[in-house]
Structure 1
Amino acid sequence: MKEEQWAPVIVMLMSSVAMGSVNALVKKALDVGVNHMIFAAYRMAISALILVPFSYIWERKTRPRITFMLLCEHFISGLLGASLMQFFFLLGLSYTLPTVAMALSSMLPAITFALALVFRIEIAQNLKSKPGVLKLIGALTSILGAMFLTFYKGPQVSNSHTHPEAIQKNTLHNNGHDQANKWLLGCLYLFTGTVLLSLWMLYQGKLSVKYPCTKYSSTCLMSVFAAFQCAILSLYKSREVEDWIIEDKFVIFVILYAGIVGQAMSTVVTSWSIKLTGAVFVSTFSPVSLVSATLFDFVILQSSLYLGSIIGSVVTITGLNVFLWGKRSENLTTSKSCQMIENEDNIVINDNNTKLPV
């Protein structure tokens, strides 16, 4: 890849690692008992406040005029990529674990790839080429690693730093029939959130072409709509005004961290990368968040580490490398084709110039 082609790879890797840590912390905050949509509303409001100065200073000359259609399109963007997505994703996360949430989110490449084929954003004939096969194998391998990490625990390879009382409480909590139903329901919610995120990526790809050079303004506008949408969706669980008053310092820290890093910075980086490389390419980095969440659980939150987590992480990273290999081959093939066309045009021009006048 050229230097400018490596930039989306680097920033998406950094963003995916950060999102792994965000989801691990959000899970701990939700365990305190905070309304997940109130949490999301605060998160989106902080994202909007952070992005206002950036959008005003850097994009005031390039930002398009605010129209009703522009507001409607960003309302839909907020609905798909923020409010509804977080409604299902955070609800599923409260019933499961960060590693499970990230594992199901690792299906994002396959879902995005399938939806891109349905909406004809990706051409099915490209799958017959070597780069297309590599990209498909890479996406499927990443999903396989994510599923392996989720459903195969394996022997414990490290001692848990969690207190024995917490382990006993967690074991009793997880053995109940009601907890099993919540676990399956949580997985369904997480899958729904992943589908919505895939739709947002494809929608954002079209939106970034329509409104170029406005990544801060677009994300800010999306966050404003999403904050109001999340506030309305919070009525699903609670209608008490007291629930909006959060006094827990850890929850306040997580809200700030999730709003700045997990929403504002991550959405800006993702939108910019989608514009340069496409939704399918960006979605392939979701397995990195799974590995990051696993490591963050072990190193920071002091959870146990199992053999299944290690093997699943290795398989996931391998699949990502295969996908990047296919993307690099596709870029090389495209550049060679463009160069051949330019050479043919130059030959035709030279032949026309060498013809003698009659």
Structure 2
Amino acid sequence: MLKKGYIFESLAGLGQTTLAVAVQIGYAAVIFFSSMVQKSGMSTDIIVAYRLMFAAAITVTLALIFERLDSLRMWTVSGRAKLFGIVLGLSGGMLFTFYRGPRINTWSTYLDLLHLEKLQNNQEVVLPRKVGVQFFAVLYALGHCMCSSLWLIIQVIT
């Protein structure tokens, strides 16, 4: 029987590894689907707003399932701090999503991983790739996986 607050301790060994792999697959899926939706023409602001809404819905659902002993207790200092943190976090997320400030041009972030070229009749053709680009892409992917894994390990330690 799982006690509240001890759910992740019950996933010792292979369960923790499976959960970490599932999180990485989830990250990859979010990035993949976000890029596909953006290529179809949806605004980046709308994509970010949808991602925040879905993340909030999933987080609230998981919190209601696994962390029901936590109460607000509005008349205590910790209850008011919790409420202030919730309001501040939600308003900050919405501010960053919908704020229109001056555009900061750093460098081009356009990256065509498939090397597609649009022809006159809107068909896409894959161009041949250079070996050097593939080498750096593999190094980048390995570095990203290592940094993500280290980040998860550091989160567990803290």
TM-score by length of 1: 0.27
Q: Which amino acid aligns with 2:138?
A: I
Q: Answer whether contact 1:116 1:122 (CA < 8 A) is retained.
A: no
Partner of residue 92, structure 1: 33
Residues 1:271 and 2:138 aligned together:
no
Segments of 5+ residues of structure 2 without an aligned counterpart are 1-11, 39-43, 111-130
Within 5 Å, which residues of 2 pair with 1:181-330? Answer: 247-261=133-147, 263-273=148-158
2:19 to 72, 77, 81: 77
Which residue number in structure 2 is paired with residue 142 of structure 1? 89
Find the aligned partners of 2:31 and 2:154 in 1 and give their Cα distance. Answer: 22
Comparing both structures, which one devotes a greater share of its residues to helix?
1
Q: Greater shift after overlay, 111-120 or 100-109? A: 100-109
Query: Does the 8 A contact of 2:74 with 2:80 survive in 1?
Result: yes
Does structure 2 conserve the Cα–Cα contact (< 8 Å) formed by 1:103 and 1:147? no
Give 1:234's aligned residue.
none
Say which of 138, 153, 174 aligns to 2:100: 153
The Cα offsets for residues 334-357 of structure 1, whole Å up to 9 and x where unpaired, read as xxxxxxxxxxxxxxxxxxxxxxxx
How far did residue 128 of structure 1 move?
Answer: 4.9
Asked which structure has the greater RCO (Cα within 8 Å, sep 6+), the reply is 1
- RMSD in angstroms over aligned alpha carbons? 4.0
- Supply the distance in 1 between the matched residues of 2:80 and 2:54 (Cα, whole angstroms): 18
How far residue 133 of structure 1 moved from its aligned partner, in angstroms, is: 2.5
CA change 1:147–1:254 in 2 (3 A) is farther
Mapped pair 1:123 → 2:75: no
1:162 Cα deviation after fit = 4.5
TM-score (norm 2): 0.51
Partner of residue 183, structure 1: none
Deviation at 1:270, TM superposition (A): 1.4
User: Aligned with 2:95: secondary structure?
Assistant: helix
On the 8 A contact 1:117/1:123 being kept in 2, the answer is no
Q: What percentage of aligned pairs have identical amino acids?
A: 18
